[in-house]
Copies of this chain bind each other. A is one copy, B any other.
Amino acid sequence: MPAYTAPLRDIRFVMDDLLDFSSHYNQLNSTTEVDRETQLAIIEEAAKFSENVLSPLNAVGDQIGCTWTADGVTTPPGFKQAYQQYCDGGWPSLAMPEAFGGQGLPESMNIVVSELVCSGCVAWSGYPGLREGAIKTLLSYGSESLQNTYLPNLVSGKWTGTMCLTESHCGTDLGQLKTKAMPITATQYTLTGTKIFISCGEHDMAENIVHIVLARLPNSPEGSAGISLFVVPKFLVNGDGSLGQRNSLNCGSIEHKMGIHGFVTCVMNFDGATGYLVGQPNKGLEAMFTFMNSARLTTALQGLVHSEVAYQGAVPYAQERLAMRSLSGAKNPKGPADPIIVHPDVRRMLLTIKSFAEGFRAFAYYVAQQLDLSEHAKSDESKTHAKKLLALLTPICKGFMTELGCEAAHHGVQVFGGHGYIREWGMEQNQRDSRISTLYEGTTGIQALDLIGRKILGSRGELLTNFSTIIVEFCESQHSNPSMQEFTQPLSKATTEWLTLAKIIGQSAAADPEEIGAASVDFLMFSGYTILAYFWARMAQVSLEKLEQGADDKDLYLAKVNTAKFYFQRILPRTATLKLTIQSGAANLMQINADQF
């Protein structure tokens, strides 16, 4: 695995030049000031931690993985120590509320730090990451007593958390779940059932693990309307906050996975375990959806991370590996052959990865800004606007970026030729690690149904128009800028087609609801390519401006413009196919009988 180098210059390009984080933070109603100096200090420290502490754990985490015994799970060598350093550095509490010991920084700063941490070692990054879901659940729905008992230690990272949703027969369709909760007192219950795919369900990195568990109360309604939420700690907590007895739950086994071997995935058995109701009975599933946006954005980041890792591996290899001569004449005449970066098809792969990594960063940070605004904007109107953008963009960000992150990881292997298939280069690990991202936190198919069904048709197009208006306004603002026409013209065309396709799907769905599912994933991908075109057009515009101003870093801005050209000429044309397949309708999927497969 190549050592990770935090792409701080590219990150600053997005934070400073493109999305102007400093002005953005001035729009927030927040007590914590985050000036540019603070931003820089945070990302530089996070970069060091990721490069020096996490990146060295990446290969060992994969090769040794986690070990299960009846007594618990041992994480790979170094994981526990790195987690201690992470806690000592105060990282777990960065964007947590000050009331429970947090530092109260905006979510968007946390996303930048998450990118850095996740890029260093994606398997390790899950342990602090999962904790955030438990914290948000308790913050939104926990009683004061539960909050005071659990939040301080979760916020500091002393304890970690999990989300126990999936059972062996249901993951997406949680309405089928069977775990039972029996009332003991007004707030106390005993939980019995088996959960699978519980990330970080058991490990040796923290002294307590706080499980958030979905279960059914006696006589609750069938299906998703009968699910309640409980907090179930590994160790019960005494009145004075000290750890009490071991709860009746254990990790029955761990999964053998394709990748992220250092990130433990547990079967959790609850055997009359003591738990406490969180929020209202039977409202558990709705509660889960409250903070789905931030969880999905964090998962979407993996698309960026696996692209970045592929890029950092493949570029130096392509610059050093000598094979064949350039078709337009030797570029390294004194050497035995030319470096493979001279070959157009190698560049095609590298630029594909580059256009994904850098485009995804712009997209993800923009969505993170909407997360900030949705909670901390100064006006309710701005909050609502941001919430609407989030509703539209989150499923696209998650589905699109993770699908293409897998593609980028595939190209990363391909650039290495046969060496890409060998463990020591790390490219195959990156591909294996990437593969989970389109599956967990809602598969691509689920994101796509959420997008077209709930968000677009459900809002009668309002959510779509909210964002497409932003694109249209941008294009109009560049009307008299000749060097931007090669970007704004195809972007306008794609945006118009995007709106038209949404209408067509709506119309055909009125006659046949299967049309929604038939168009869903292709429509999500069409949306993603259009949005990424918007961000690449904006990056080109900013870079052209900087070049005109004679800014330093000429190479960086030239590279951005050239990558934008590549994106518009080589990637955006994928919408041509998607337009055709979306319009092809449901019949070509539905006319074959299930038993003719």
A438 at interface, CB cutoff 8 A: yes
How far does the alpha carbon of A136 sit from the alpha carbon of B26 in the complex, in Å? 74
3 closest A-B pairs by beta carbon, nearest first, are A344-B517, A258-B428, A573-B580
Of chain B, the residue at the smallest CB distance from A554 is: B596
Complex copy number for this chain: 2
Q: Is A516 an interface residue (CB 8 A)?
A: yes
Closest chain B residue to A563, Cβ basis: B592
B562 touches A345 (CB 8 A): no
- CB pair A513–B327 under 8 Å, yes or no, is yes
Enumerate chain B residues within 8 angstroms of A566, measured Cβ to Cβ.
Answer: 588-589, 592
Whether B431 and A597, one on each chain, are in contact in the complex, defined by CB atoms closer than 8 angstroms, is: no
Per-position 1/0 for A339-366, Cβ under 8 A of B? 1011111111011001000000000000
A581 to B570, CA, bound (A): 5
A414-449 interface bits toward B, Cβ cutoff 8 Å, 1 = contact, 0 = none: 100110111110001001100110111001110011
Given contacts A344-B518, A573-B577, contact A594 B435 (CB under 8 A): no
Q: Which residues of B contact A573 (CB under 8 A)?
A: 577, 580-581, 584
Q: Beyond A327-B514, A559-B592, is A423–B258 a contact (Cβ under 8 Å)?
A: yes
Q: Nearest chain-B residue to A560 (Cβ)?
A: B596
Q: Which one of A49-57, A167-175, A277-285 is at the interface?
A: A167-175
Question: Which B residues are CB-close (under 8 A) to A423?
Answer: 255-258
A24 at the interface (CB under 8 A from B): no
Taken together as a complex, chains A and B put the C-alpha atoms of A368 and B429 apart, in Å, by: 36
Of A32-40, A82-90, A315-323, the stretch lying at the interface with chain B is: A315-323
Q: Determine the chain B residues whose CB is within 8 A of the CB of A257 once the complex forms.
A: 421-423, 428
Which residues from 114 to 144 on chain A have a C-beta closer than 8 Å to any C-beta of chain B?
none
A435 and B444 form a contact (CB under 8 A): no
| 24 A/B residue pairs, CB under 8 Å, sorted by A | A171-B417, A171-B418, A172-B324, A172-B417, A176-B322, A176-B337, A255-B423, A258-B422, A258-B431, A343-B517, A345-B520, A348-B518, A414-B444, A418-B439, A421-B435, A555-B595, A559-B596, A565-B588, A566-B592, A570-B589, A573-B580, A573-B584, A574-B577, A575-B577
Taking CB atoms, residues of chain B closer than 8 Å to A328 are 512-514
Residues of chain B within 8 A of A348, CB atoms compared: 518, 521, 589
Flag whether A459 is at the interface (Cβ < 8 A).
Answer: no
Q: Find out whether the CB atom of B324 lies under 8 angstroms from the CB atom of A173.
A: yes
Other-chain residue from B414, B513, B576, B590 in contact with A347 (beta carbon distance below 8 A):
B590
- Expressed in whole angstroms, the Cα–Cα distance for A342 and B589 within the complex equals 10
From residue A567, how far is it (CB to closest CB) to chain B in Å?
9
Q: Assess the B323–A197 pair: CB atoms within 8 A.
A: no
Chain B hits for A585, CB < 8 A: 569
**A413 interface residue, CB < 8 Å from B?**
yes
Is A151 on the interface with B (CB-CB < 8 A)? no
Cβ contact within 8 Å between B431 and A414: no
A336 interface residue, CB < 8 Å from B? Answer: yes
Known pairs A258-B422, A573-B584, A574-B577; list 6 more (Cβ under 8 Å): A169-B322, A258-B413, A345-B517, A348-B518, A414-B439, A418-B440
Q: In A324-342, which residues have CB < 8 Å from any B CB?
A: 324, 326-328, 336-337, 339, 341-342
In residues 539-573 of chain A, which contact B (Cβ within 8 Å)? 555, 558-559, 562-563, 565-566, 569-570, 573
Indicate whether A347 sits within 8 Å of B589 (C-beta atoms), given known contacts A173-B323, A417-B439. Answer: yes
Q: A396 to chain B: which residues have CB within 8 Å?
A: none
For chain A, residues 175 to 193, give those with C-beta under 8 angstroms from any C-beta of chain B: 175-176
- Option from B173, B449, B562, B597 in Cβ contact (under 8 Å) with A559: B597
**A591 contacts chain B at the CB level, 8 A cutoff:** yes
A11 interface hit (Cβ, 8 Å): no
Would you give the shortest CB distance from A535 to chain B, in whole angstroms? 18
| Contact B345 A445, beta carbon cutoff 8 Å | yes
> For A516, what are the chain B residues with a Cβ–Cβ distance below 8 Å?
327, 344
Closest to A172 in B: B323
A406 located at the interface, meaning its Cβ lies under 8 Å from any Cβ of chain B in the complex: yes
Q: How far is the CB of A544 from chain B (nearest CB, A)?
A: 15
Residue among A169, A350, A438, A596 with max Cβ neighbours from chain B (10 Å): A596
Least CB distance from A13 to B in Å reads 14
A22 to B449 CA separation, bound complex (whole angstroms):
49
Complex partner residue of A351 from B422, B559, B592, CB under 8 angstroms: B592
A517-B331 Cα distance, complex, nearest whole Å? 15
Please name the residue on chain B nearest to A592 by beta carbon: B562
Tell me whether A197 and B590 are in contact (CB under 8 A). Answer: no
Chain A positions 390-423 with a Cβ under 8 Å from a chain B Cβ? 406, 410, 413-414, 417-418, 420-423
For residue A166, CB closer than 8 A to chain B, the reply is: yes
**Does A586 make an interface contact (CB < 8 A)?**
yes
In the complex, which of the residues B166, B413, B439, B520 contacts A421, with contact meaning CB atoms closer than 8 Å? Answer: B439
Residue in chain B with minimal CB distance to A573: B580
Residue on B nearest A223 in the bound complex, by CB:
B336
Distance, CA A449 to CA B348, complexed state (A): 14
